[in-house]
Amino acid sequence: MKTLVLPPTKKSLVVASSILQNGGLVAFPTETVYGLGADSFNVNAIAKVFKVKGRPSSNPLIVHVKDLEMASELAIFDDTSRHLAKIFWPGPLTLILPKKKSSKIPDIVTANSGYIALRAPSNPITQNLIELFGKPIVGPSANLSGKISSTSPNHVLSDFNGKIDAIIDGEDCPIGLESTILMCNHTKIRILRLGFVTEKEISEKLSYLKIESCLEGKSVPSPGSKFRHYSPDTPIVINCHEKGRGEILIGFGETADAEFNLSEKGDLVEAAKNLYHILREADRKAQSTSSIRIVVSPVPNSGLGLTINDRLERAARKD
């Protein structure tokens, strides 16, 4: 199979839509990371996503919709979830909701949980693709399961060249971290995965609701919640102030002797955008120089830093 790299033109989106209609796989850009897309109503196409990624069937998929109207055909919204969607969609927020019995989404997407993860991405290329396709698109991150997420078309090619039908080249993702995943009811919001939308932002918009962090031991399966995730092939150690012999240092802020730096200015938004690209580059350098590990400087554990540290902690885990 030859993987097509399509420019983000209307003609290319017609090609991509046709591939999806025929049960193929298309990687697409979002504001967060690249997604690996398939027809959300086609069981065989969805099975290909799991197979190509090496993703366990117990790990559900996020379904990308154009807007709240399309989402409402798939899931049951209460007042709180509808309010959240109106505030944060299109954008980097995923809502886990009860799946409607009339929904055409097969159970393989939801890990047979009865709940569905929905997001409306803000990237105009993907918005246009969903509109042209006319149906929701499943879209887990376009990377091998458990490995580093893709924030550029080259990242996707390095993982899936010859294994998927096409990649839509939307250049680098501007955010660089996955969406925040929530469940909610009329009294509280549960954060199931930290993402670009922070707890503070949510609290400012819905101050009357209690917010709980439920990052482990969830009763409902949540996409991207494996303990070990976002991992390079080279072992990684976090919260290091200096590097030793045979180590590659990723710095943050003013860091001496760092081969890479998430943000020399100490800017968390810049660090988020750079995180996965630098992890991939550091891994490549470590492999080519036979370095024994990657070490990462401390990142402030507040605001967006909580999400960055969540990704680094999962990348460093051995289980």
d(CA 194, CA 215): 8
Considering the domain boundaries, does residue 282 fall inside one?
Answer: yes
* 268 and 140 assigned to the same domain: no
Q: Where are the beta strands (DSSP E) in the chain?
A: 4-6, 26-28, 35-39, 62-64, 93-98, 115-119, 137-138, 166-168, 180-184, 188-193, 210-213, 236-237, 247-251, 260-261, 293-296
CB contact set of 85 (below 8 Å; sequence gap of 6+): 68, 71, 77, 93, 95, 120
Summarize pLDDT for 50-66 with one digit per residue, the tens: 999 999 999 999 999 99
Kindly indicate the confidence band of residue 1, based on its pLDDT and cuts at 50, 70 and 90: confident
* 207 and 270 assigned to the same domain: no
* 202 and 288 assigned to the same domain: no
Summarize pLDDT for 277-312 with one digit per residue, the tens: 999 999 999 999 999 999 999 999 999 999 999 999
Q: To 10 degrees, what angle do helices 10-21 and 124-133 make?
A: 50
* 146 and 273 assigned to the same domain: no
Where does a domain end: 213, 244, 260? 213
d(CA 209, CA 16): 41
Both tokens of 227, joined, read 């303990």
Contact indicator for 51, 157 with CB cutoff of 8 Å: no
pLDDT score, position 187: 85
* 246 and 173 assigned to the same domain: no
Considering the domain boundaries, does residue 218 fall inside one?
Answer: no
CA distance to 107, 167, 229, per residue, from 42 (Å): 11, 19, 27
Considering the domain boundaries, does residue 286 fall inside one?
Answer: yes
* 283 and 192 assigned to the same domain: no
* 161 and 260 assigned to the same domain: no
- The rounded mean pLDDT for the chain is 95
What dihedral do alpha carbons 36, 40, 41, 44 form, nearest 10°? 30
Comparing CA positions, the residue from 116, 122, 119, 307 lying closest to residue 230 is 307
> Residue 227 above 90 pLDDT?
no
Summarize pLDDT for 80-102 with one digit per residue, the tens: 999 999 999 999 999 999 999 99
Q: Where residue 105 sits, what CATH number does that domain have?
A: 3.90.870.10
pLDDT score, position 212: 87
Look at 10-14, 45-49, 224-228 and tell me which has the smallest mean pLDDT.
224-228
> Residue 21 above 90 pLDDT?
yes
Summarize pLDDT for 129-178 with one digit per residue, the tens: 999 999 999 999 999 999 999 999 999 999 999 999 999 999 999 999 99
> Residue 218 above 60 pLDDT?
no
User: Which burial class, exposed, middle or buried, applies to 302 when counting CB atoms under 10 A from its CB (0-12, 13-18, 19+)?
Assistant: exposed
Half-sphere exposure of 221 (CA within 13 A, CB side): 19
pLDDT score, position 225: 60
Residue indicated by tokens 């969406």: 179
The string of DSSP letters for 62-110 reads EEE-SSHHHHHTTB---HHHHHHHHHH-SSSEEEEEEBPTT----HHHH
Considering the domain boundaries, does residue 222 fall inside one?
Answer: no
> Residue 220 above 70 pLDDT?
no
Q: Is the dihedral of CA 54, 57, 98, 183 positive or negative?
A: negative
> Residue 109 above 90 pLDDT?
yes
Considering the domain boundaries, does residue 171 fall inside one?
Answer: yes
Higher pLDDT, 215 or 306: 306
Considering the domain boundaries, does residue 307 fall inside one?
Answer: yes
- Residue numbers of the domain that contains 138: 4-213
Domain count, the chain: 2
